[in-house]
Amino acid sequence: MLGIYGYITSWAIYLTAGTLCYILFYKATGAIGPKPLANVLRGIMLALIYTPWYVAADEDLMAPAVIVILLDMITIGGNAFIRGLVPLTLALIAAIVVALMAGLLRTYIARQPGDEDVS
């Protein structure tokens, strides 16, 4: 088993690689015409990469939720993967809502008339 330094090092490597993957994904989705669609896809990618969850119910170690789900499906089977699926689903819903609300807010602000003094 990894010690605490191995655990922290593993997370540092994962976060660095995830950030690099997200940067590439961000640049790739820049070519998408409708910006709300691009922002929703970016939010989904953020949620998939960075949502953590507990490795086991009785441990305090965490891993990316996608990996926890896959390993629970492979090793435990049955409905065990649901414990990692719930936080990932909530993170995905939150990411989609935030991306859509940011787009609506940006549109609303762009359509506001200037605060010009009409005398």
Angle at which helices 35-50 and 82-111 cross, to 10°: 150
pLDDT digits over 69-96, tens only?
999 899 988 888 888 899 999 999 999 9
Of 98, 71, 66, the residue nearest 85 (C-alpha): 66
Three-class SS of residue 52? strand
Q: What is the pLDDT of residue 27?
A: 96
Q: Record the tokens describing residue 25, joined without a space.
A: 């994904």
State how far the Cα of 1 lies from the Cα of 46, in Å rounded to an integer.
29
DSSP assignments along 91-102, one per residue? HHHHHHHHHHHH
Q: Which amino acid is at 4?
A: I
- In this model, does residue 115 exceed pLDDT 60? no
pLDDT digits over 11-38, tens only?
999 999 999 999 999 999 999 988 889 9
pTM of the model: 0.81
Bridge partner residues of 62 (DSSP): 54
